[in-house]
Structure 1
């Protein structure tokens, strides 16, 4: 009887069971783009979209930076990625910022690579909910190559709410870091 009542009321059966709060996108304003500028480190992601899964399996480290593009709603993207055993530098992509619907569109060689919403979180975190597929997809980047335990737990809770298990989460590591170019904003040239 209690289990039936609990199910009907939507209450958790076990104490400590976490309820899922919705992912709340950032509403873009004039401070959004400047907040994104500078160096970021890719920390973790989960996806069920096959092309993203293939890339996530290969990436063991990624650092990227956003710099102002040719107009106010465009960002240049510079990436340093270790894919398998090779460090790759990519400087050919851009992010288009669509303030009217608060989305970011990553364009690589004139092809749309992904469309994402920036999720509300700490100012030093970049949580992106990729929305251009019918598959759940969430990624976490940060200003530093490591995040606090609390921030990681918050991200894992969001993943769990999207139905991901721990086995479906891909993590990068500074153990596999590529040398960062000197002079990048917030870059640590000693990170190798």
Structure 2
């Protein structure tokens, strides 16, 4: 499952409650530890759509992005290690996401930078239900990713730290 699809579902679905009846299939359920375990791993940012011009303009600069999500069940946070290709350069960032268990949704992931046609359709349907147009979706191009070497370096450093512990 593509990161963009999952993030769209996770961040947009709570807003769909007041939408038209045709959008009723998009509902939310509480996040459990099992949900967090499903979110763990590597995700790829494939597409996004924003109503706010500032966000849309920022998203246009992104050529490719992938994330590593590492949930912490006891603190209800998820560590996000993000590798973005912007202007042909790799930009690395790490941050934490807070988990609001009662307002979340369930999702699964696959470790690949492509979305299936079904996943893209579901994402596009969610965008339309949010009152946006499919033409507002901006897609990334995984072929432009230049963050692979930095990711490998970080993985090697983590392995050395784990061995030393």
Same fold (TM over 0.5): yes
Contact 1:67 1:76 in 2 (8 A): yes
Is structure 2 residue 118 aligned with structure 1 residue 150? Answer: yes
Which of the residues 78, 81, 87 maps onto 1:78? 81
Query: Residue 52 of structure 1: SS of its match in structure 2?
Result: helix
More helix by share: 2
Gaps (5+ residues) in structure 2?
A: 1-20, 157-165
Partner of 2:99: 97
- Aligned 8 A contact 2:33 2:73 in 1: no
Distance 1:165 1:88 in 2: 30
Equivalent positions of 1:6-25 (< 5 A) are 20-22=22-24, 23-25=26-28
Counterpart of 2:49 in 1: which secondary structure? strand
Q: Could you say which structure has the higher strand fraction? A: 1
Distance 1:25 1:177 in 2: 33
Q: Secondary structure at the match of 2:120?
A: helix
CA distance in 1, matches of 2:100, 2:59: 26
Larger radius of gyration: 1
TM-score normalised over the length of structure 1? 0.60
C-alpha distance in 1 between matches for 2:111 and 2:53 = 28
8 Å CA contact 1:59, 1:172 repeated in 2:
yes
Kept in 2: contact 1:20–1:158 (CA 8 A): no
> Mind listing any 5+ residue stretches in structure 1 that lack a counterpart?
1-18, 103-116, 125-141, 185-192
TM-score, L = length of structure 2: 0.69
Measured after TM superposition, the shift of residue 37 of structure 1 is 1.0
> What is the aligned residue count?
131
1:60 aligns with 2:43: no
Instruction: Answer 1 or 2: higher relative contact order, Cα 8 Å, separation at least 6.
Output: 2
The reply to whether residue 37 of structure 1 matches residue 5 of structure 2 is no
Please tell me the root mean square deviation across aligned C-alpha atoms, in Å.
Answer: 2.3
